[in-house]
Amino acid sequence: MENVLILCAHPDDEVFGVGGTIAKYVNDGNKVTSVIFSYGEKALPWLKPEEVVKIRKNESLRAAKVIGTHNTIFLGLAEGKIGDASKKIQNELKVIIKKIDPSKIFTHSLDDPHADHRAVYKLVMEILKEIKYVNDLYAFDVWNPVLLRKRNSPKLYVDITDTFKLKLSALKKFKTQNVQGRWPLMPAVISRAFIYGIMSKHRFAERFVKLSL
């Protein structure tokens, strides 16, 4: 059994980026933990922040149940302020990583146009360097254009033929994100799965870029 860790900015990022792979790893007997930095409380500006937090947290937990995530940890950082994470939060994240001792970590890409996603990438890279993390580290796509990636970087392809439907079902749990996220991103989700499947000789696949510290 391997311990796998997902580090992402908002609820739903873990499913958009790694949902099929999470379900695949869980089906293979591995243990997957997701750490979500922000609740994405700006998603529903007409509601009180505490109401949005409750809604988005519940959506994420329901989605996690669909794909089999073992545990979901919320750091509670303010949306748009991830780059200003306090030393306390940084230390909390270090403790989480050391406790889980993951063989693989998946996080956002520096190529992602979303500012919070890039902030998570930078923060994760700094922390992993500090704790001298030596195992596998991969970047996933959310808002990145399809196939726009460093061509010479090592890639990991994961066959999600048997779990792609679970990913799609999990994404439906984020009902508050239909307009902002799910509907705009669905063409990319489907095309990536199909294209990466062809590239790796599977029906559907997710692709990740291996990162170096």
More confident site: 42 or 71: 71
- For 45-60, how does the pLDDT look when each residue is reduced to its tens digit (9 = 90+)? 777 888 889 999 999 9
Residue 116: is its pLDDT beyond 70?
yes
Average pLDDT over residues 4-12: 96
**Residue 44, token pair as written in the block:** 């529903």
CA distance 16 to 12: 6
The percentage of the chain sitting over the pLDDT mark of 70, rounded to a whole number, equals: 95
β-strand 104-108 against 3-8: which pairing, if any? parallel
Positive/negative CA dihedral, 44, 69, 160, 146: positive
CA distance 130 to 72: 24
CB under 8 Å to 3, separation ≥6 — which residues?
30, 31, 33, 100, 101, 102, 103
Which domains does the chain possess? 3-210 (3.40.50.10320)
